[in-house]
Each structure stands twice: as structure tokens, then as C-alpha cells.
Structure 1
Amino acid sequence: MSDTTAPPPAGTGTVRTPAAKQRVPFWDNARLACIVLVVLGHSIQRLTYDSDIALGLYLLVYAFHMPAFALISGYFSKSDPPGRGQMVRVITDIVLPYLVFEGLWTVTKLLVEGRADPNITKPSWTLWFLLALAIFRLVLPYLALLRWPLLWTLLISIGAGYLPNIDSTFSLSRTLGLLPFFTLGWWVHEHRLVERFALLRTRWWLTAASAVTFVVAGWSAWYFLDIWQAMELRQWLFYDDDYASIGQTGWWAGGVRLLLMLVALLLSIAFFSLVPREGHRWTHFGQYTMYVYLLHSFVLYPFRESGVLRGLDPTWLWLPIVVVASVLISLALATSPVRRVFRPLVEPRPAWLFADPSLATVGRRDDPTGSRRTPGD
């Protein structure tokens, strides 16, 4: 899988020759589809209290959408010891946006709710993934030195759930929980599996099997809803709580996480199989997922907190409306006017912060998955 035609682009631990500038539409389509699922999951959350169908859809989305995002992020990440440019971009692309939007959320809660708890160690709502990305990229060069890095990250993810002191502080619980998916994305790129097995080639039987997989998964999410609620499946899918906090104190609790990770991987593969390979008018929006990711929560906040999304009936009417609205919100937040207005917040470049002011101009990336990395970065 690459972001250019040939040869493969930079993004793993090996040194690659500069690639052509042409983009592979599939990856922008996949990023856009992932961010739409993020917006959708947050949009329908309030509907899940009143609608079993909405809750089933919610569980289906959360079963794989963040693992899929982590896979893409890992695929476009480097395992070389970080150079000066990479270290700068951790600051400008992740740390500074995190601090800026944590500050905005503090002000928003103070004005709207009359209270605020400014604490940068506890990410607000969606901001946890920024911290996760920062940690992913910091530890990847060390993981790449190990034999069997996938096995080690799997053991870390499963083992972290047994430790109650690994919690949401600096989003560590979710970071360790999703680390295997990020590492798998890097490993796939590192071994050029997509090129070797032509995985971007459309195969009708794989498309059909993927569609059937989602039909079965969606039906299971709805039909066995009582079981999922009894086992607190929603909490399991967040990767945010230790097993005991979810009510599972048995030694086998790690097996539940392992099973859910396998389900997430299966659904992610099916998801990527269904993503269009060719370019469309909306494909380029996949380059700007950072804007959608950081801004959509402010768009949804009034609707979620005002209660207008509660008690909507009939579900067959309102749920499709919310789904369509999620798509439109995602596209709108990636448009040029929005990017132009919010660029100072999403892509801060404070020259005064650096001992060498020219570092503030080091290449931009407009999404949290590294899609706009240039060859050699």
C-alpha cells in the first residue's frame, strides 16, 4: 500500500528512493471513510439510548473504525530513529494542536456548562487519539528493533487490561490497547505486502465476501444486543478501561480483548476491501482528515448537549438523516474555506517557539495519519 504509484514512498524503517508525486486515490478514500465513521459514531451516540437499531450500528462502527484508523496511521509511519524534521512535526502536528484544542475545550465548557477542569493529562473527548499518535511514533523505532514486534505489542495490549493503574491519563490505556493495529500497519508496509500480493486490485469475490461480512456483523450487533449490553461490549470497544472496571475479573478476560481484536481486524480488512480504488470528486478530502477530526466535535457538541438527539422517532427516518448529516459534516469541514479559517489552530506554526525559527516551516501534514508526508521525510 502506498501513497504514490512506484516505487513505494517513505513511511517505514527502510530507506526508499523519492517517489513520484502521483497519489493513490485508495488511501485518500480510506482516510475519508474512516473519518466519516468517526463523525458518525459520535453523531449517533445519543440515539443509542432510545433505539436498538442505532445502538447496533454504534457497536458495529466502534468494533473496527479506530483500529482501522490506527492501521492506516501505522502504514504511513517511519521506524527510523527520528530526524530533526520528524521531531519538529511531532510538536507542530500533534503536541501543539492538542494543547490548542484542549484550551478551546476548557473555554467552551466554562462558557456553556459553567465549569471547567483544565487538565492536559486527561484528553477531552476526541483528543485522545492525538496523544496516542504521538506515543505510537515515539515507540515505533524501538519496536522495530525487536524480533516479533507484532507479538510483543499484542501481549502489551492484552496485558495492559489487567492493570488498573493504566488508565486514561495521557490516553495510555487506549494507546496500548490499539498499539498492535498501528504496528501491524507499519509491518505491512515494511514487508511490502500490498505490492507483493496486489492487495489494491479489485476482486469481485473479495468485495462480495466483505459485503456479506458486514451484513452478518450488523445483524449480529442488533440481534444479540441483550448479550452485548450484559457484557458491557461498548466499554470493551473503547479500549479505555481495565477488565475489572468492566466487570470481568477472571484470568480469561484478556481472551475477550484478543477475540475483539480479531473481529476488528476482520472488519477492517472487509472495510478496506469495500473502499473504492479509483478517484472521485470527493477523494481529495481524504488529505484533510485532521480538520474534520479536530473540528467536528465542536459542531456536534450543541446537538449532543441540548438533547435534540434524544427521543427521535421513528428511527427508520431519523437514523438515516443523522448518517447523511455525518457525511455532509465531514465533507464540509475538509473544504478549502474551513481549512483557510482554522489553519492557525489546526496547523500552528509558531516560529517564536523554536530556537531555530525556520523549523516552524517544516512540511505540513493535514491529517493525523501522515498522508501528506513527502519522500525522505
Structure 2
Amino acid sequence: MSTTATPTSPSRTRPQRERVPFWDNARFVCIALVVAGHAIQRLTYESDNALVVYLFIYAFHMPAFAIISGYFSKSGPPTARQMQRVITDILLPYVIMETIWTLLQFAASGTLAVNPTTPSWTLWFLLALGIFRLVLPYLALVRWPLLWAIVFSVGVGYLSNVDSTFSLSRAIGILPFFVLGWKLKEWGIVDRWRLVDRQTVPVRAAGAAVLVGWGSVLVAFIDVWREMDLRFWFFYDDSYEGLGEDQWWAGAVRLLLIALAILLTAAVFVLVPRHETWMTAFGQSTMYVYLLHSFVLWPIRESGVIGGDNSSFTWLLGLLFASVAITVLLASPVVRRVTRPLIEPKPSWIFRPAQETKTGPLRIGPSRTDPTGARRR
């Protein structure tokens, strides 16, 4: 019997890549901001302080996630394994979570509304990642793919018939950030300038100044931002007409918001620690937090505890600290072990047995990375 390594034992034939702590730290920061933004949303109706924090977060947190996801994406023709991962990592978790949400809402309201084409709450980003995976190989074939992605993002806002069905409007809206992440990897800027290895004090100071400046602008003009419903612009979801701005120049506003999101993301990334910290391990499980945190926050939000008289600055701080705690809890080994069948389903019965290729049998195994590119533990 041969003793050579078989295709089913990749650990014997391929060395493990060195994990870069920066990316896990950045993922943790982004997912903690996602939880925080959802946690304080009800406070924004009554509290200007909460609205400032909310707008500060929403200006860049999902674009930052899209940039990270794009950085770890491949633009070549999809292999059988990559196509399988779209099913196991994106479509199946979406179906599972959407079904759970439908049943929960039925239990709460007594009305059964089955509509898998409209994602519930946070599930839109999962479908957006699937759309990104599908269109990237085609964008990679054309010249100036980043420019085209920006044109699509700005242009879709003029089309009121492109809506949230299958997250299409939102996916196209944030497509430039995903493509930017992919181009950063293709250009080699991160590796050439060693951006994830170290940062100088002046660069960090500049990043902090940008964030302080953005916060100051929000505080100084909070009445203006509330009146114009700026937060809805950061969703990249509604058309300009749906946002109440059907003028020809409305696309320029989205273009400015794209530039702002890139600037703020860069400012945050230069401040993210480059070495291993307490958050590094938790940043490896962001999809668990993303898909599960809504089940923690939804009953609290629906109970009426948040908002109204409970909209003070103390409540705001409490919810922000609680958001970090929720992030840590949902990324913990215990929660991952219990919920793994939901987040990382492995339905081998769906797929055909080993498929013959020119190079021999193709054995499709479990995913080693999540949809954002984080290597799973």
C-alpha cells in the first residue's frame, strides 16, 4: 500500500500560512461596531448623542467589512470547491437563518410571512457577499473595474425599480468597497508598504485626527443630519427618490459618502493593533457574531426597554460596553461549538461523490475560511 499523502490529507502536503493578527483585529473592531450600531439604534430617536455615535459607525463599518472581504477574494474562474463554498458558506446559512427569523416573527406576531427574497435584518450582507463572489470574475476581465464598480454604485441610486430583493440594491451600493479590497491585494500595496506590520506615530496621529474631525462635524451639525435623515444614506439601500432627493446631483452625494467611507476606514485601520491582542482570537469568528447577534438584540429591542425614557448618555455607554461583551460571548468557543451546524453546515449529502477531473479525483471538504476570508479555527 502506498504511503504517499492523499488528497484528503492537505495538512501533510500544504504548510499552514502564517496568520496575520492585524486582519483578525480589524474584523473584531468591525463586528463590534456592527453590534453597537444595532444595539443603540432605538436610542437615536430621542438622543442626539446616540445619533452622533450611530452616524459615526455607519459611515464606514460595513464598507470596511466589504474591503476586508474583497482583499481575501479571488477573481479567477471559480473552481468546484469555490462554488461549493458559495452554497455551504452563504446560501445554506442564509436559508437556515431566514427560516429561523420567519418562525420567530410568526411566534411573536401570529402572522406567517414567508418571503426568502427579502432578507431579514442583518442577513442582507450574506447575500451581498454571494453577489460579490459571482460578479468579481467578470469585473476582473474589464479595464478599470474599480471605476465601473463606482459607476454602478452611484448609478443604481437613480433606479427606483432596483430594491432590496435579494439585497441587490445594497450589494451594488457597496460593491466599490469590495472591489477596492480586491485591488489592494492585486496592487500589492499592503505587502509592499508593510501596512499590516507596523505604523508610524505620525500616521496614527493623522488617522486619529481624521476620526476626531468626523466626530466633530457630526456633533456640530447634528440637527442638520437628523433633519435630512443622513443615516438612511449610509444604508446604500434606497434610491435617491426614495431618500427624498430626486435631483440630478444626488449621485454626487453618494460619491462623497463613498470617499468618506474609504477615508474613515483607512483612519481606523491605521489605529488597529498589528500584534496579537485579547481581541485577535475573537476576530477569527466574526460570522458567528454577525449571524447570531440579532437574536440577542431583537428581544431586547422589541421589549421596549431601549429608547423613550431610557435614552440617556448612561444608557448609551452601557449599550456600547454591552455590545463588546456580546461580541466576545458570541465568538467564544462554547457558542461556536453549539451553533456550528447553523453557521457552518456541512451537508455532504447535497453534493455528488468525488468528481473525476483531469488531475484525478476531486474531494470537496469543509471550508477552511469564512465568507470574509477569516481562517476558521
- In structure 2, relative to structure 1, the CA distance for the partners of 1:166 and 1:348 (3 Å cut) is same
User: Partners of 2:363 and 2:214 in 1: how far apart?
Assistant: 46
SS of residue matched to 1:281: coil
Equivalent residue number for residue 252 of structure 1 = 249
User: Partners of 1:97 and 1:248 in 2: how far apart?
Assistant: 36
Letter in 1 for 2:279: W
Cα root mean square deviation, aligned = 1.9
Equivalent residue number for residue 353 of structure 2 = 356
User: Partners of 1:152 and 1:186 in 2: how far apart?
Assistant: 14
Equivalent residue number for residue 213 of structure 1 = 210
Alignment map for 1:233-272 (pairs within 5 Å): 233-272=230-269
Q: Deviations over 1:4-42 (max 9, x none)?
A: xxxxxxxxxxxxxx7753211000000011100100000
User: Partners of 1:360 and 1:60 in 2: how far apart?
Assistant: 46
Asked if 1:273 corresponds to 2:270, the answer is yes
Cα shift at 1:321: 0.8
User: Partners of 1:319 and 1:110 in 2: how far apart?
Assistant: 30
Q: Deviations over 1:310-352 (max 9, x none)?
A: 1355723111111010000001000111011000111111122
Cα shift at 1:229: 2.0
Indicate if the aligned counterparts of 2:47 and 2:311 stay in contact, CA closer than 8 A. Answer: no
Q: Which stretch of the first structure deviates more once superposed, 320-329 or 230-239?
A: 230-239
User: Partners of 1:41 and 1:314 in 2: how far apart?
Assistant: 15
Indicate if the aligned counterparts of 1:214 and 1:267 stay in contact, CA closer than 8 A. Answer: yes
Indicate if the aligned counterparts of 1:347 and 1:366 stay in contact, CA closer than 8 A. Answer: no
Cα shift at 1:367: 3.6
**5+ residue gaps, structure 2:** 1-13, 356-361
Cα shift at 1:236: 0.6
Cα shift at 1:202: 1.3
Q: Give the length in aligned residue pairs.
A: 358
Indicate if the aligned counterparts of 1:354 and 1:360 stay in contact, CA closer than 8 A. Answer: no
Indicate if the aligned counterparts of 2:370 and 2:376 stay in contact, CA closer than 8 A. Answer: no
Equivalent residue number for residue 8 of structure 1 = none
Indicate if the aligned counterparts of 1:56 and 1:222 stay in contact, CA closer than 8 A. Answer: yes
Indicate if the aligned counterparts of 1:48 and 1:54 stay in contact, CA closer than 8 A. Answer: yes
Equivalent residue number for residue 17 of structure 2 = 21
Letter in 1 for 2:73: S
Q: Deviations over 1:146-197 (max 9, x none)?
A: 1100110100000000000111000001000000000000000011111112
Indicate if the aligned counterparts of 1:67 and 1:264 stay in contact, CA closer than 8 A. Answer: yes
User: Partners of 2:93 and 2:244 in 1: how far apart?
Assistant: 35
Q: Which stretch of the first structure deviates more once superposed, 360-369 or 284-293?
A: 360-369
- In structure 2, relative to structure 1, the CA distance for the partners of 1:50 and 1:367 (3 Å cut) is farther
Equivalent residue number for residue 369 of structure 1 = 372
Asked if 1:324 corresponds to 2:327, the answer is no
Structure 2 residue aligned with 1:160, among 156, 160, 182?
156
Indicate if the aligned counterparts of 2:285 and 2:376 stay in contact, CA closer than 8 A. Answer: no
SS of residue matched to 1:134: helix
Indicate if the aligned counterparts of 1:71 and 1:183 stay in contact, CA closer than 8 A. Answer: yes
Indicate if the aligned counterparts of 1:77 and 1:370 stay in contact, CA closer than 8 A. Answer: yes
Cα shift at 1:360: 9.1
Indicate if the aligned counterparts of 2:98 and 2:116 stay in contact, CA closer than 8 A. Answer: yes
- In structure 2, relative to structure 1, the CA distance for the partners of 1:140 and 1:373 (3 Å cut) is farther
Equivalent residue number for residue 125 of structure 1 = 121
Asked if 1:284 corresponds to 2:287, the answer is no
SS of residue matched to 1:127: helix
SS of residue matched to 1:38: helix
Indicate if the aligned counterparts of 1:47 and 1:312 stay in contact, CA closer than 8 A. Answer: no
Equivalent residue number for residue 200 of structure 2 = 203
- In structure 2, relative to structure 1, the CA distance for the partners of 1:141 and 1:88 (3 Å cut) is same
Asked if 1:296 corresponds to 2:299, the answer is no
Indicate if the aligned counterparts of 1:349 and 1:360 stay in contact, CA closer than 8 A. Answer: no
Larger radius of gyration: 2
SS of residue matched to 1:349: coil
User: Partners of 1:360 and 1:54 in 2: how far apart?
Assistant: 51
Indicate if the aligned counterparts of 1:289 and 1:366 stay in contact, CA closer than 8 A. Answer: no
SS of residue matched to 2:18: coil
SS of residue matched to 2:77: coil
Q: Deviations over 1:101-132 (max 9, x none)?
A: 00000000001122231111100000000100
Cα shift at 1:284: 1.1
Asked if 1:344 corresponds to 2:347, the answer is no
**5+ residue gaps, structure 1:** 1-17
Equivalent residue number for residue 185 of structure 1 = 181
Equivalent residue number for residue 147 of structure 2 = 151
Cα shift at 1:270: 0.3
User: Partners of 1:255 and 1:71 in 2: how far apart?
Assistant: 21
- In structure 2, relative to structure 1, the CA distance for the partners of 1:367 and 1:185 (3 Å cut) is same
